[in-house]
Amino acid sequence: MGFLENNAAWLQQIDSDYAKLGALAEQKPTQAATWRVHFDCVWRELCAQVNWAPALSRKRQIVQRLGAWFGIRVWDAPRRIFPAHSPVFSVPGLAFTFPPAIAAYPTVFGFTFCSTGDDMWEALATGHYTTELSETWLTLKLVTAITSFVDVGANIGFYSLLVAQASAADTRIWACEPAPKNLATLRRAVELNHFQDKIQILPLALSDQPGPSDFWLCPGGSGGHSLLPTEPNAHKITVQVDTLDRLWRAHAPWLTRSFVKIDVEGAEPRVIAGGQAWLTSESAPILLLEAWHHSTPTAHSEDYRAVIRQLRAWGYHVFAIQSPQQDQVILQRITSDAFKPAPIGDYLALPAWAWSREPELAQPFDLRLFSDPAQLAALAQFLRASLAQLEQLGDA
C-alpha cells in the first residue's frame, strides 16, 4: 500500500470514529458533558502535534481576529479539522550543522532527504518543499502508471527520491542536474537511501541543443540556477547540455510509460523544443513542468504561453495546477489559447495514454493526506479508546 493509500485508510477510520463519537455523546448529554471537556482538550493537543487546526466559519474567524487585536483569546469548537500546514519533514530527525555541510533527515514519505545547512534552514523557514503539495500529490497519484521518471532540474533530488520510494522496484529514474553543489547533495541522498539501482544521476542540463553552455548559479541556496541569467549577481560556469530527444533515443526501451518533471527556472521552452520528437510520439511522457513567468527574464516572459499552446497542439491535455485547498480540485483544464496562468506557475500535461487517469486526478484534495502516518495511527488509536470509554458511560 502506498503512502497516500495508507493515509487515506487511516483518515477514513478517523473520520468514521469521530462521527460515531459525536453521535454517541449526543445520546448521553448529561453523563458525557464532563467527559467531552476532557476529550476536547486532549484532541486539540493531539491535532496540534499533527499540525492540524480547527476550521472555523468566516464569521468566527473575524471574531477571533478582533479578539486578537484587543488581546482577548476567543475559543471555539471546530466544525472540522484540517492541516494548518503539512509536516513533510519529520522534525525530530533533523541534524543541523554549522558551517553548512550535507546533512540528512527523514521525511514522512519513508525516504531520507539530504541538504546543505543553508538549504535546510530555507526549507524549514519558508516551506520551500511544503508549498509543492499539489505537485507532490500528483506525483504520488501518477507513479503507479509509469515505468520510468526523468527529473529535469533535479536540484537536490526531492522528486527523484519520492518516485524511487513510491514506485515499483523496476522503475528507472534519470535525475539531470548540472550544479556541482546540488550534485554532491543528490549523490549523497541516493547512496544513503540505497537507490543506486533505481536512480541514475546525469551531471548535465537539458536544452534544445547538445554541447557546452553557460550556466548561472544563483547565490543563497540550491534553487534559482539556470541556463538563463535570471539573477544580476549570479555566478557563471560552463556545463554540459543534452536534449530530451537524445536522452529518449539512448534509453528508448525503458521510456515507454514515462513521467518527466521539468523545473529549470525559465529555460522550460528550450527543454520542450529539444524534446519534440519524443513529445509527439506514441510514447509521449506525462509532463509536470514549471512555466512561471515571474521567474523568467523579461525577454522570455511570454514563452510559457507558447509552451502550453504547443503542448496542446501536440495532443496533450494540459491543466493549470491550483494552490492546494482543503476539499478543492487542484487541476483546471486549459481548453483555449487564451488561458489564465496557473497561480503557482506549474502545469500538468497528459498524453493520450494517460487520459484515463483524469477522473482520479479530479478528486477533491485532502491536505490531511500529508500527515505523518505514525501520528495518524496515534489519532486513530486515541479515538478508538475514547469510543470504548464513552460506551461504558451510563445513560442520562
Radius of gyration of the chain, Cα coordinates, nearest whole angstrom: 24
C-alpha cell at 360: 482520479
Q: Cα(167)–Cα(142) distance, rounded to whole angstroms?
A: 10
**Which pLDDT value is given to residue 366?**
84
Q: Are 153 and 264 in contact (CB under 8 A)?
A: yes
Domain with CATH 3.40.50.150 in the chain: 125-369
Q: Are 362 and 329 in contact (CB under 8 A)?
A: yes
Taking 80 as the threshold, does the pLDDT of residue 242 lie above it?
Answer: yes
Q: Cα(300)–Cα(306) distance, rounded to whole angstroms?
A: 10
Using 50, 70 and 90 to split pLDDT, how confident is the model at 128?
Answer: very low
Alpha-carbon torsion, ordered 364, 368, 370, 375, to 10 deg: -160
**Which pLDDT value is given to residue 124?**
43
Taking 90 as the threshold, does the pLDDT of residue 258 lie above it?
Answer: yes
DSSP H or E run through 201: strand 199-202
Q: Are 231 and 224 in contact (CB under 8 A)?
A: yes
What is the pLDDT averaged over residues 226-235? Answer: 83
C-alpha cell at 137: 500529490
Q: Cα(350)–Cα(360) distance, rounded to whole angstroms?
A: 13
- Residue 208 C-beta-side C-alpha neighbours within 13 Å: 7
Q: 3-class secondary structure for 163-226?
A: HHHHCCCCCEEEEECCCHHHHHHHHHHHHHCCCCCCEEEECCEEECCCEEEEEEECCCCCCCCE
Give the pairing type, strands 258-262 and 286-290.
Answer: parallel
Among 197, 209, 100, which Cα is nearest to 156's? Answer: 100
Phi, psi of 146 (to 5 degrees): -120, 160
DSSP H or E run through 134: helix 133-142
Among 253, 227, 229, 255, which Cα is nearest to 242's? Answer: 227
Can you tell me whether residue 287 is helix, strand or coil?
Answer: strand
The residues near 280 (Cβ < 8 Å, ≥ 6 apart) are 314, 315
DSSP H or E run through 36: helix 29-49
Top pLDDT among 101 and 312 is at 312
What is the pLDDT averaged over residues 202-225? Answer: 89
What is the pLDDT averaged over residues 84-105? Answer: 46
Identify the weakest region by mean pLDDT among 82-96, 217-231, 284-298, 311-325: 82-96
Q: Cα(141)–Cα(135) distance, rounded to whole angstroms?
A: 10
What is the pLDDT averaged over residues 358-381? Answer: 87
**Which pLDDT value is given to residue 92?**
40
- Residue 364 C-beta-side C-alpha neighbours within 13 Å: 6
Among 337, 362, 333, 363, which Cα is nearest to 349's? Answer: 333
pLDDT tens digits for 72-84?
Answer: 433 333 334 444 4
Can you tell me whether residue 301 is helix, strand or coil?
Answer: coil
| 69, burial (CB in 10 Å: exposed 0-12, middle 13-18, buried 19+) | exposed
**Which pLDDT value is given to residue 176?**
97
Q: What is the Cα 154 distance to its own chain's centre?
A: 14
Percent of the chain with pLDDT over 90: 45
Percent of the chain with pLDDT over 70: 79
Superfamily of domain 125-369: Vaccinia Virus protein VP39 (3.40.50.150)
pLDDT tens digits for 18-72?
Answer: 999 888 888 888 877 888 888 887 888 787 777 675 444 444 444 444 444 444 4
What is the pLDDT averaged over residues 271-290? Answer: 96
Q: Cα(227)–Cα(204) distance, rounded to whole angstroms?
A: 11
